Structure 1
């Protein structure tokens, strides 16, 4: 049974950090507006902060008691904000410094999961993408493959390559973003996501993009993407997926709230893709959809997320 929600005044003055300077700024602003509106409607003293780098160490001095982090990418998901808040003894939603850094770096994420014996897709991590051998990648992984900037979220820079030439182009484009480039085998099967708030694992969602590829357009723009809740799995398979998601989340050291993305291959085997430690909170976003399936309003959802910053919260 869920614990009762704290009163709005128990949170004090809350900074809702949104926007920032990453490639995911536009999505963060949209998520932030949704979070801010819901918090204020619930009676919380919440204020929007679109930070510059210099603002991160002044939040406590500006009178804030805690932070609702909805900055996608850097500095909200790579450990920078978490370190700044720790230096100010300022509670912040979501995972801590090390877990955030682990989860944003797709190469580190998959290395930790492999070490723990968890199922992942085969991949090649390109630390020097300019000198990558496309032929060697194709020989190792086959085609098609997905190419991803290893340090980005929200599907920024992600492309599907179907031949050597499109693979070469996708690597070049992904290399324009900071960090390594991840080339990952394409898994034929269903795409799922499992969200978590505190200790509550939300119902899995099956995602069906009209174009067959859940890219930036399908996530944030298209109204044709289908989100299936219930997800179509039987009860045993659904529970098994939640258990795997929880293990993957714990291996990275994540906490507070987040979302684990998976694929189920043609043999019915779940394969982990990534963990998002600050998921989107837009009208198209997955965590609000899963929470609604439990009967949570947007106000309830943001209050439960914010409640994880209170000492002794579950």
Structure 2
């Protein structure tokens, strides 16, 4: 960092992805928390002038509060590497790998972690015939926040009808029944297990609409399942090469015990508001939201 009395932090938020509005909320909350921690903060809506905006701000650290493509897939990370500005969260390779849902599965399998069967299928073919026996889930292989997800139920006569705005290829993944569980990892160590309770599918609306879901932390689970979730999340964080804070999501079919626990994906840029999943787990461990943002700034670096 520079010799400024108060380090200057550029909080990157917004951006052009489908998760822009969520990112703006995360960014504003993080900016407020960082100011309360004594930092000088510049808020930057990451658009086409990002390079010029960063040079004008001359920050000591970039706090990456972007979500979705470009902000968490290695692109903005590469730009920050080029500008030699230390930044929070994961580096270029880990960000790109975690965002590619199929390639990240390969990394999980290599690390001995349980995943659901999945394949990439051209979008045009998905609507013609079932790519695999239902039930299954169709999703973009490089998006977050449950955007563009289709669920095809068991016994369905017709496959998913894909919106024309979807990517050229989609990931088709075997549906895993059961409970939605998630674990945040901070500095390589798992924090807790959260049980995410919804009335239906944990989609974009359930994640970001008031009352759309309820979080139970720590989750009320058998000790074996809690231990496995914590262990798997730490191993996933390491397998992807994450830095800072990540969050790994699971589905657990209670009827199958440990064999019913399946890792879905790892998020290198978890939501960052005081009531988001990762900050909730940090709070459970006695780490305030302000302290969490401070730790992320102190952990920031340039690292490929």
Give me the TM-score of the superposition, normalised by structure 1. Answer: 0.87
2:299 maps to what in 1?
Answer: 308
1:3 maps to what in 2?
Answer: none
Q: Following superposition of structure 1 onto structure 2, how do residues 79-228 of structure 1 map, counting pairs within 5 Å?
A: 79-126=74-121, 128-132=122-126, 134-137=128-131, 140=132, 142-162=133-153, 163-165=156-158, 167-169=159-161, 172-173=162-163, 176-178=165-167, 180-211=169-200, 213-228=201-216
Which ranges of structure 1 fall in alignment gaps of 5 or more residues? Answer: 1-8
CA displacement, residues 11-63 of structure 1 (integer Å, 9 cap, x when unaligned): 72110000000010010001111111111111111111002133136524531
The alignment yields a C-alpha RMSD, in angstroms, of 2.2
Which ranges of structure 2 fall in alignment gaps of 5 or more residues? Answer: none
Q: 1:280 aligns with which of 267, 271, 293?
A: 271
CA contact (8 A) 1:56 1:81 kept: no
Instruction: Kindly report structure 1 stretches of 4+ aligned residues shifted beyond 4 Å.
Output: none
CA contact (8 A) 1:151 1:180 kept: no
CA contact (8 A) 2:185 2:237 kept: no
User: How many residues get paired?
Assistant: 295
Q: Alpha-carbon deviation of 1:310?
A: 6.0
- Alpha-carbon spacing, 1:11–1:186, altered in 2? closer, same or farther (3 Å): farther
CA contact (8 A) 1:205 1:227 kept: yes
SS in 2 for 1:56: helix
Residue 229 (1) aligns with residue 217 (2): yes
CA contact (8 A) 1:17 1:67 kept: yes
SS in 1 for 2:76: helix
- Alpha-carbon spacing, 1:177–1:94, altered in 2? closer, same or farther (3 Å): farther
CA displacement, residues 79-128 of structure 1 (integer Å, 9 cap, x when unaligned): 111111111111111111011000011111112222333210112211x2
Q: Alpha-carbon deviation of 1:70?
A: 0.7
SS in 2 for 1:247: helix
CA–CA separation in structure 2 for the residues paired with 1:100 and 1:130: 28
